[in-house]
Amino acid sequence: METKNPDYHQIEEFQNRSKKLKEIRDLGIDPYPHKFMPSHVAKEMLDLYSEKDLGHFDDAAAGETPLVKFAGRLVLFRAMGKNAFGQLQDESGKIQILFNRELTKVDGYDIEKSKEKQSHIKFIEKKLDLGDIIGVEGNLFHTQKGELTIFVKNIKILCKSLLPLPDKHSGIADLGVKYRKRWLNLITDQKVIDTFTKRSKIIKIIREYLDEANFLEIETPILQNIYGGAEAKPFATHINALHQEMYLRIALEISHKKLLVGGFNRIYEIGKVFRNEGLDKTHNPEFTLLEAYAAYWDYNDLMEFTEKLYETIALKLNSSTKVEFGSYTIDVKTPWKRLTMKQAIKEYGSVDVESLTDDQLHKKLLETSVDRDKLKNATRGNLIALLFEELVEDKLIQPHHITDHPIETTPLCKLHRDPKEREKKIVERFESFIAGNEVLNAYSELNDPEIQRELLLNQVKKRQEGDEEAHPLDEEFIEAICQGMPPAAGFGIGIDRLIMLFTNSESIRDVIFFPIMRPEE
């Protein structure tokens, strides 16, 4: 079977650059060498030398100014008689460079071997293209306009680029290209590099915060025999060696609780989870989740601990607890406002659920845009949770902890310690909301094996009735709980949504390097 060349092989620019590549190789120059060691990155150079009195063009030409080595992608080139100016870009920024007719030499280029007998600067003009990665060595100086510039004495081709960059003015207009071909997005938009650099810093701050609180970082399996820990449809796969069906994990919870049984008191994991669900601005089927568990804590401890985490991130990133997100200025300063789910419905939705019958709650929901299928066979707890989603969530702009949820919302949470709330089947769970989005889920963990088994059997019944997101029965998990799990509290934070908040990103796709894309995109 003959392999067809890709479409870009027909692009004139690709063909021209391929021709240049052959010409460079014919001159005995390796256009893809193994190594080049820069002395600085762009930002470091700018920070060190922008304000220093280095001297000017003649001083750099004479070698009397600091000598540096720098590597990056050529993103600008302008020939100007005896000199040519360009810009090199690395991940930290851009530096102006100057090529000089008399003093700039191309590493490995011998004029006598060239058919055209081109000078070094003419070789640079004719054989290099925007997008090429080059290494330069030269002396720093300031132009008459005060711009820090490298007077290049030696240039080394590090990677000949065969495809052109997107237009620098219009950038990438097609969102599909922007996300699918992220490398182009990174090359053309420094803000995107800044977002992902900040993502890395945020995750480092989270780890430091947890480590300082004596949490141990762990790793648990992605492939599982039985999935659980959330209400979600899983991705299924198959292990050929075992002739066995497996699932990609939808949460980290079940494995972590087994480790609490085993004797670890404070643990956390930052890892990928997979939920076979829709795509929108806050959902990607593959996403990064933080889960942490602390023995002998309850959900009250977690409210303080998690809000302090957000405050710490903000202060370390921005030296302020205030965060700009869309049209909002969010203040994550502790303490956050706390309301029970019923209090929130009353305050933001003007509905007192305690004074209404189930039929009246049902009628209230019919006045909203709720999916009517969700109302079929809905219990009182389901109705309360749906009212909260419809009437309250989008109004929770500043940080809120919404506590004390109906038991129907999770089968893994401890019943409320208050006998009156316990009788109403309220559990010690809280979700945190910022800018109308859920950002955190936490609860006092259920460690009663008899109640746990009963709740998971109820989930089995829901599955038999057609709920594909209900938990399967995990007998091994219940066996572990029977062995004895200490009282504990645990929380989960979608890292990508957290990054969205602190980078002012409107879509989850903006904070994931390679998000899942629809075929038509």
Residue 435: which CATH number? 3.30.930.10
Task: Judge whether 339 and 403 are in contact, CB under 8 Å.
Answer: yes
Q: What is the mean pLDDT of residues 177-186?
A: 92
CA pair distance 511, 302, nearest whole angstrom: 26
Same domain, 224 and 137: no
Same domain, 476 and 441: yes
Question: H-helix or E-strand containing 99?
Answer: strand 93-100
Kindly state the DSSP code that residue 40 receives in the 8-state scheme: -
The verdict on residue 222 lying in a domain is yes
Same domain, 330 and 425: yes
Same domain, 262 and 206: yes
pLDDT value at 520 more than 80: no
- Amino acid of residue 45: M
pLDDT value at 167 more than 80: no
pLDDT for position 311: 98
Q: Angle at CA 125, nearest 5°, toward 122 and 131?
A: 150
Cα first-last separation, the chain = 29
The verdict on residue 434 lying in a domain is yes
Same domain, 213 and 287: yes
- Work out the number of other CB atoms within 10 angstroms of the CB of residue 459: 20
Cα of 415 vs its chain's centroid, Å: 34
Same domain, 413 and 499: yes
The verdict on residue 265 lying in a domain is yes
Query: 102-116, 199-213, 220-234, 463-477: which range is least confident on average?
Result: 463-477
pLDDT for position 1: 67
Q: Is 464 exposed, middle or buried (0-12, 13-18, 19+ CB in 10 A)?
A: exposed
Q: What is the mean pLDDT of residues 217-241?
A: 94
CA pair distance 458, 456, nearest whole angstrom: 5
Q: What is the mean pLDDT of residues 85-95?
A: 96
pLDDT in tens, 326-339: 999 999 999 999 99
Cα of 194 vs its chain's centroid, Å: 12
The verdict on residue 451 lying in a domain is yes
Same domain, 194 and 54: no
Domain boundaries, position 64: 7-165
pLDDT for position 145: 93
Backbone phi, then psi, for 5, in 5-degree steps? -65, 145
Same domain, 113 and 144: yes
Q: What average pLDDT is seen over the chain? A: 94
CA pair distance 181, 459, nearest whole angstrom: 41
Question: Three-state DSSP class for 444?
Answer: strand
Same domain, 208 and 325: yes
**CATH number for the domain that contains residue 122:** 2.40.50.140
The verdict on residue 211 lying in a domain is yes
pTM of the full structure: 0.92
Query: Greater confidence, 471 or 34?
Result: 34
Same domain, 332 and 429: yes
CA pair distance 514, 192, nearest whole angstrom: 13
pLDDT for position 114: 82
Q: What is the mean pLDDT of residues 395-413?
A: 95
Distances (CA, A) of 50 to 47, 55, 90, 94, 369: 6, 12, 17, 13, 58
pLDDT value at 282 more than 70: yes
pLDDT in tens, 481-512: 999 999 999 999 999 999 999 999 999 999 99
Cis peptide bond prior to 335, omega within 30° of 0: yes
Query: Greater confidence, 117 or 274?
Result: 274
Same domain, 441 and 476: yes
Residue found under tokens 């985490």:
309
pLDDT for position 166: 86
Q: Which residues pair with 490 in a beta bridge?
A: 293, 443
Q: Which residues pair with 94 in a beta bridge?
A: 89
The verdict on residue 105 lying in a domain is yes
pLDDT value at 92 more than 90: yes
Q: Angle at CA 517, nearest 5°, toward 512 and 518?
A: 160
pLDDT value at 168 more than 80: no
pLDDT in tens, 340-393: 999 999 999 999 999 999 999 999 999 999 989 889 889 999 999 999 999 999
Question: Three-state DSSP class for 278?
Answer: coil
Same domain, 225 and 319: yes
The verdict on residue 389 lying in a domain is no
pLDDT for position 175: 82
- Amino acid of residue 481: I
Distances (CA, A) of 453 to 269, 466, 480: 26, 20, 12
The answer for residues whose C-beta is within 8 angstroms of residue 498's C-beta and 6 or more apart is 202, 310, 313, 439
The verdict on residue 411 lying in a domain is yes
pLDDT for position 471: 83
Question: Could you give the percent of the chain with pLDDT greater than 70?
Answer: 99
CA pair distance 87, 85, nearest whole angstrom: 7
The answer for residues whose C-beta is within 8 angstroms of residue 40's C-beta and 6 or more apart is 48, 68, 69, 70
CA pair distance 441, 171, nearest whole angstrom: 38
Distances (CA, A) of 28 to 249, 352, 514: 53, 82, 38
Both tokens assigned to 422: 């316990």
Total domain count, the chain = 2
pLDDT for position 169: 59
